[in-house]
Amino acid sequence: MHDKKEKPPRGPRDFLTVLFKHRIKVGGFFLASVLIAAVGSFLLPPTYEARSSLTVKTGREYVTPRDSGDAGALMLLQLEEVVNSEVRILSSRELIEKVLATMKVETVYPELAAPPLSTTTPLQAAALAFKKNLTVEGVKKSNVIEVAFRHKDPRVAARAVNLLVDGYREKHLRVFSDPRASFLEKQLAGYDAKRKDSEQRMEAFRRKNRFFFPEEQKSLLLKRYQEANLLVQNTRREIRLARERPKERETVETPADLPSLNAEAAAQARRVRALEDEIRAFDRLDTAFQALKREADADQKTYRAGLELAFLSESASESFSTPGIAERQLALPVLATIRHRD
């Protein structure tokens, strides 16, 4: 029998040898990949992106007078909520369709200008395509909104962004000059006053009752109660032993020990009862505080709903100006229309 020789491990030199041996195949594969990528980049039409930045300034249109009688007292809306609402308005279907109506569908999306086979109109189809290529985002922790639109024609992309921003500004000014806005402002001020009142009552309750860390305070009370209860049990055990073996010196050294233990047990029992009363009082405080907290949370939700209503009114101020717009917004058929007469 012959011993089999172990093959030495392959090293970098062996790898280079194999690579050099198949250098033509490797080079051809690399060259083909580069050529395919280059041809694809030349054949595919480029996509351009136009961008614009908007700064949401907290001017007078974002403040409302309080009902406190102080004409100079103003309420500043939360910036994050304002920016989010403005983002929704900028990307609303109404503004998109207004831009497409100005630029014409055949200019922005000529492939969608032909009469469709389905019930969708060219304007509706173009609005969907426009929204897919539109990006409207608020920059985190700032009052800046970034608007970007992608299109194969750079001039179309730039004009679309400019028209969208211009339409947003016009709508913004028009809504805040509407008399209905003052009514919403008064409602919102009332919601805010109620919200702040409930928060102040909750904080006053905390300070008056020193109710700052309820979970930790309750845990400390229970711990003290358990320790006091354990002391009572230990003392009662000592009393029982003293009564069972009154003559043993190691258990009861003097006749005065038993009355002393009884007095100590009585004092400890009073301490346990006092702690029980303290725990029950704490539970009552916690119940009252939770009621105040639920009220404050409900007022906060009402206030936020008021904010949403105010900005929904802004974004939908003209949404139902025609039956077609009403059908698209509500996704319901319009059965009849009634003409309004002033």
Domain boundaries, the chain: 48-178+318-330, 209-315
The more confidently predicted of residues 211 and 39 is 211
| Least confident interval from 69-73, 208-212, 302-306 | 69-73
Instruction: Report pLDDT digits (tens) over 156-207.
Output: 999 999 999 999 988 877 766 655 556 566 667 777 788 888 888 888 998 9
d(CA 180, CA 196): 25
d(CA 169, CA 181): 16
- Percent of the chain exceeding pLDDT 70 equals 66
The more confidently predicted of residues 45 and 288 is 288
168 near 95, Cβ under 8 Å?
yes
pLDDT at 8: 57
Average pLDDT, the chain: 76
* Helix residue ranges per DSSP H, 52-148: 79-90, 93-103, 105-108, 122-132
68 near 193, Cβ under 8 Å?
yes
Instruction: Report pLDDT digits (tens) over 203-228.
Output: 899 898 888 888 898 899 899 989 98
Q: What are the backbone dihedrals phi and psi of residue 65, each rounded to the nearest 5 degrees, phi first?
A: -70, 145
- Which value, to the nearest 10 degrees, does the dihedral of the CA atoms of residues 166, 328, 114, 41 take? 60
235 near 219, Cβ under 8 Å?
no
Helix (H, G, I), strand (E, B) or coil at 102: helix
164 near 96, Cβ under 8 Å?
yes
Asked whether residue 92 carries a pLDDT value surpassing 50, the answer given is yes
The single-letter DSSP state of residue 337 is -
The pTM (predicted TM-score) of the whole model is: 0.45
199 near 324, Cβ under 8 Å?
no
Which one, of 168, 152, 2, 202, lies nearest residue 95 by Cα?
Answer: 168
pLDDT at 28: 76
